[in-house]
Amino acid sequence: MRISSFISAALLQVSIAWSSPVETNDLVTQGTSKRPNHPIKPHHPGKPFPISPARTKTCTVQSYGNGKDDPKSVLSAIKSCNNGGHVVFSKGKTYTIGTALELTFLKHIDLVFQNASTFFQLGGEDVNVYGGGTFDGNGQVWYNLYAKNNLVLRPILFGTIGLKSGRIEDLNLRYSPQWYNLVANSTNVVFSDISISGYNSSSNIAKNTDGWDTYRSDNIVIQNSHIDNGDDCVSFKPNSTNIVVQNLICNGSHGISVGSLGQYKGEVDIVETSTSRSNITYDGMVLANVDYAIEITQCYGQQNLTLCNERSSLATSPSRMSPKNFVGTTSKKYDPFVGYLVCSSPTVCSDINIQNVTVKSPSGTNQYACANINEIDSQVDCKKAV
């Protein structure tokens, strides 16, 4: 199912918490906003980010309380402060959304979550979200539903959809039903100082709880964040370009993934920087007890690897990929191997350069399972993959 149609369906099922003003009686005051100041460093995607002017008024959102549905009052506050203000979701209040909220009309507005919980789809132009609040997705309810029926469409906790310039900073994301963040059709967006955490509290485990998934988006930064989850820490979906991921702690996850390419027949997918079709760099990774330090495969998650490799093509092939400066240890799962480097043929994967990777397995080796990547055996200790 395509991502766009999935989002529309998932939002219809949202029933969770937020914040709100009462009808049109928003508390509107004059004043400028105080935003976090998290510089983009040490790396920058290369393109400049637009300047976001200071906001000149504040709309404080008031909750109906007692689990009552708050979308009407939320929209009232946002419309009052759209185009030049910021909306405050007050500390210590719980806000409930039982009706889907699509906030893709926003323009020149800051949303300040001091301590609120929410589900929503965010988009527009020049939108900043911050405040130290918590977004709690009540995930276990959804894990239980999914265990009974794997066709259940689980919502994404934070959807950044069609956002043209913005910063999402200083937030806590907890117990997402599925992905924590989807960044789709967006440009010039910075995510900084985000805390992500959430596991299962019953035998029905959390699944597909990626930290971030990017799709058809450009000039994105994800930095200075801590992620405790059970799936990808960050995953670049098709047509993700000029993206920097830096200074993350990823625990229990599948790490940083470039994947789900070539899903749609007749469409060409890319993940690239501005200067090349591929050109992907992993630099400065500190690893502890990971299954593989580096894994290159065109058949991730496939049961029939022989058939998959026969049908893999340039649509899913990595090129100009540079993992470098890795240190740490792997788990016992694939010991004595620390990595898996396999392509369907030597003509498919090209220009893979591994530099200064000193990761060790529990047995003290640093062997890789390798196949069909030219000159890879001169860079690492390769053993034939079986």
Q: Which residues are catalytic?
A: 254
**What are the residues facing 184 on neighbouring strands?**
161, 215
Which amino acid type is present at position 366?
A: N
Positive or negative, the CA dihedral 360, 361, 365, 371 is negative
Contacts of 118 (CB under 8 A, 6+ apart): 16, 17, 18, 19, 89, 95, 97, 135
Residue 51 is classified by DSSP as P
In the sheet that 294-296 helps form, which strands lie side by side, from edge to edge? 294-296, 337-342, 367-371, 381-384
Q: How far apart are CA 158 and CA 135, in angstroms?
A: 9
Alpha-carbon distance values, 368 to 71, 377, 382 (Å): 53, 9, 5
Q: Quote the distance between the C-alpha of residue 308 and its chain's center.
A: 27
Q: How far apart are CA 343 and CA 113, in angstroms?
A: 46
Give the distance between the most distant pair of CA atoms in the chain.
69
Tell me how many degrees the CA angle 203-115-53 measures, rounded to the nearest 5. 125
